[in-house]
């Protein structure tokens, strides 16, 4: 065959292959599950539906693995092994649990104990969200407070940990969902997923951008209204958004709302003016720990902490409907309910 004709055919074939590649349409695949005591949804965009479903299944399997290691609700989790051995032995744990415990300790330090992974005894005493929820007596709280102190966690280089006082109890409910979201993010990235929304019971990771290239718009819950009512929208790309609020797990007694975010210094649900704390950053584990910490610290201390950290932003909403937004987020957050007032 003439050389020119061969080159011509090759050119046409290459163009056809290129065009067929471009026309592959990305479609959403979405699956939900119930784990970590909450509803989980993963939605991703792919040109191969079956593969998309497999990626989500792999993600849910990974979350289940994390839950088995870190749940206080599972008797033989690694966290409960440390709890059962409190005051006695060091327990060697997996890299997963070790990483989350180390991060918990670093957030306990920088929040000066507002975030404290040894909060377990108090969480158990209040029992918020369980059948045994109640307001404990002053004596019971004083007693439980003796077991809450992150300085009494000892670690060795081989990923083993010990709680130094018998009866101390770890609880990673304020951070482990974030770790799980980061692990799902890793799986999606390995599988070359560019557009996805990971939602682990409000622990959100907005992967990449929307299909049309614009930022994701994340609704921020109105803490005074029922779930699904938004007070504002946040624009993000490839970041995690995590909110801690007093409106999901609580009970009311004598007109007082008792919720699940406990002040480790006082032993009571945090009551510092803030009723919702949202953190935006690259790692969902950081966002999770910091949302719990800033909720407890309140506006002044919380904002100071967030402004001292690079690439971490926050939105704090108070009981009096004032909204405080950190410097890097002011252009990306819009209030849609005029009841709420933006403060400088």
Residue 249 has a CB neighbour count (10 Å cut-off) of 17
Instruction: For Mg ion, give the closer residue by CB, 83 or 292.
Output: 292
First and final CA of the chain: distance in angstroms? 76
Q: Which stretch binds ligand FAD (CB under 6 A): 40-48, 155-163, 168-176, 318-326?
A: 168-176
Which one among 288, 305, 306, 314 touches Mg ion, defined by CB under 5 A?
288
Which one among 119, 241, 279, 315 touches ligand FAD, defined by CB under 6 A?
119
CB of 242 to ligand FAD, least distance (A): 7
Instruction: For Mg ion, give the closer residue by CB, 56 or 105.
Output: 105
CB of 286 to ligand FAD, least distance (A): 12
Instruction: For tokens 């946040």, name the residue.
Output: 234
Residue 191 has a CB neighbour count (10 Å cut-off) of 16
Q: Are 319 and 341 in contact (CB under 8 A)?
A: no
Which one among 292, 294, 318, 326 touches ligand FAD, defined by CB under 6 A?
292
Which one among 201, 219, 273, 328 touches ligand FAD, defined by CB under 6 A?
201
Q: Which residues pair with 160 in a beta bridge?
A: 92
Q: Are 340 and 323 in contact (CB under 8 A)?
A: yes
Site membership for ligand FAD, residue 73 (CB under 6 A): yes
Report the distance separating Cα 339 and Cα 326, nearest Å.
20
By Cβ distance, which residue is nearest to ligand FAD? 37
Among Mg ion, ligand FAD, none, partner that 70 touches (CB below 5 to 8 angstroms by kind) = ligand FAD
Q: At what angle do helices 284-308 and 176-190 cross, to 10 degrees?
A: 110
Report the distance separating Cα 268 and Cα 123, nearest Å.
10
Site membership for ligand FAD, residue 169 (CB under 6 A): no
Site membership for ligand FAD, residue 288 (CB under 6 A): yes
């Amino acid at each position: 065959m003439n050389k020119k004709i061969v080159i011509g055919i090759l050119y046409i074939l290459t163009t056809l292959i290129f065009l067929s590649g471009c026309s592959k349409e990305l479609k959403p695949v979405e699956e939900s599950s119930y784990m970590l005591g909450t509803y989980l949804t993963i939605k991703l965009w792919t040109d191969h539906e079956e593969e998309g479903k497999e990626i989500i299944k792999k993600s849910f399997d990974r979350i289940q693995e994390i839950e088995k290691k870190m749940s206080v609700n599972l008797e033989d989790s690694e966290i409960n092994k440390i709890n059962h051995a409190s005051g006695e032995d060091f327990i060697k744990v997996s890299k997963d649990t070790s990483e989350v415990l180390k991060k918990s300790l670093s957030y306990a330090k920088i929040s000066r104990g507002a975030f404290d992974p040894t909060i377990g005894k108090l969480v158990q005493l209040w029992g918020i969200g369980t059948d045994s929820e109640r307001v404990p007596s002053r004596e019971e709280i004083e007693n439980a407070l003796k077991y809450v102190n992150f300085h009494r966690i000892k670690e060795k280089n081989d990923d083993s940990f010990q709680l130094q006082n018998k009866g101390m109890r770890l609880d990673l409910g304020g951070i482990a969902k974030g770790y799980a979201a980061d692990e799902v993010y890793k799986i999606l990235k390995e599988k070359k997923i560019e557009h996805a929304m990971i939602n682990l019971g409000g622990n959100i990771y907005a992967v990449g951008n929307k299909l049309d290239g614009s930022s994701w718009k994340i609704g921020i819950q109105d803490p005074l209204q029922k779930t699904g009512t938004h007070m504002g929208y946040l624009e993000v790309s490839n970041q995690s958004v995590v909110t801690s609020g007093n409106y999901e797990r609580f009970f009311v007694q004598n007109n007082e709302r008792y919720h699940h975010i406990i002040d480790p210094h006082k032993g009571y649900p945090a009551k510092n003016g803030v009723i919702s704390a949202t953190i935006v950053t690259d790692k969902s584990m950081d966002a999770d720990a910091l949302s719990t910490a800033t909720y407890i610290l309140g506006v002044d201390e919380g904002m100071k902490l967030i402004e001292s950290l690079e690439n971490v932003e926050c939105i704090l909403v108070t009981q009096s409907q004032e909204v405080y937004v950190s410097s890097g987020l002011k252009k990306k957050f819009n209030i849609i309910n005029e009841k709420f007032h933006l403060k400088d």
